[in-house]
Structure 1
Amino acid sequence: MNHDRLCAIGHNLADSMASGLGFVIGYYPMDVFGEAASSPEALIEIDFLNGRVVRGAPSGELEAAIVLYAEGLPEFCQSNGAKITDFKALSATFNTTALGRRVLLSVTDQSGRSSTTEYRGVPLKRLKALDSLGRIRKVPRQLSATNI
């Protein structure tokens, strides 16, 4: 499976959660950024494949939503032309900084290719920067050391 397609699936999951509406799992209101801000670590990291919180202290309602995301992931992958087994790892870290709401999405596919993409705002958008010719371009994904 194409790594970029898996990243797009991960982005859609994280964006659904960041929007506060949870449309991927139906209509499930939540405030992941608010809960991240009040968490002792000032963030919430979610493992979408296993439906659990890796870091942070979410409410019981948010934990229930995370389980629903994990349960709905196989069907969501299938509707997007992938299989859940195409992922080796899929996680998102939500936090709020002085620059606004931020999500770091980490995707590892079965071939071992791993990347981390930073998104800002709601809806989630990739950061942009000027290239060497002064053109605005999306900031590239950060590939893990094993992929370089």
Structure 2
Amino acid sequence: MKHDRLCAIGHNLADSMASGLGFVIGYYPMDVFGEAASSPEALIEVDFLNGRVVRGMPSDELEAAVALFAEVLPEFCQSNGATVTDFKALSATFTTTALGRQVFLSVTDQNGRSSMTEYRGVPLKRLKVLDDLGRIRKNPRQAGAANI
């Protein structure tokens, strides 16, 4: 499975959670950014593979939603041409800063390739940057997943 395809699957999961509607798991209202802002670390980090919050202090409702994301992940992957076993790690860190709502998506595939992509806003969009020739391009993924 191509790494970019796995990143797209991760983006869709994180975007569903960020939207506050949780359509991937059915209609399940949540406010992950609000909970991140009120968390002592000012973030919520979600491990989609294991269905748990690894950093931050989520509400019981958000913890239940994260568990539901893990339950539907195999079917969601299959509908997108992948399997859960294609992932070695899949996590998203949600935070709210002066720059707005941010999500850092970390993906590691079974071949050991890992990347981290920064998204902003809702719906989640990759940042745009100027390349060496002055053209507007999507901010490239960072190789290797780093901690936020």
| TM-score class, shorter | over 0.9
Deviations 1:34-78 (A, max 9, x none): 000000000000000000111000000000000000000000000
Residue 13 (structure 1) aligned with residue 13 (structure 2): yes
2:102 and 2:51 mapped to 1: Cα distance? Answer: 20
1:144 and 1:109 mapped to 2: Cα distance? Answer: 11
2:70 corresponds to which residue? Answer: 70
RMSD in angstroms over aligned alpha carbons? Answer: 0.8
1:37 corresponds to which residue? Answer: 37
2:70 and 2:88 mapped to 1: Cα distance? Answer: 14
Tell me the SS of whatever aligns to 1:112: coil
1:58 corresponds to which residue? Answer: 58
Deviations 1:75-113 (A, max 9, x none): 000000000000000000000010000000000000000
1:93 and 1:13 mapped to 2: Cα distance? Answer: 12
Stretches of structure 2 lacking an aligned partner (at least 5 in a row): none
Tell me the SS of whatever aligns to 2:101: strand
Code of the aligned partner of 1:27: Y
Richer in helix (by share): 1
Deviation, 1:133, is 1.0
Structure 1 length-normalised TM = 0.97
2:50 and 2:124 mapped to 1: Cα distance? Answer: 23
1:132 and 1:84 mapped to 2: Cα distance? Answer: 37
Stretches of structure 1 lacking an aligned partner (at least 5 in a row): none
Deviation, 1:144, is 1.5
Percent of residue pairs identical:
86
Tell me the SS of whatever aligns to 2:115: strand
Code of the aligned partner of 1:112: G
2:135 and 2:4 mapped to 1: Cα distance? Answer: 23
1:86 corresponds to which residue? Answer: 86
1:101 and 1:10 mapped to 2: Cα distance? Answer: 17
1:54 and 1:96 mapped to 2: Cα distance? Answer: 17
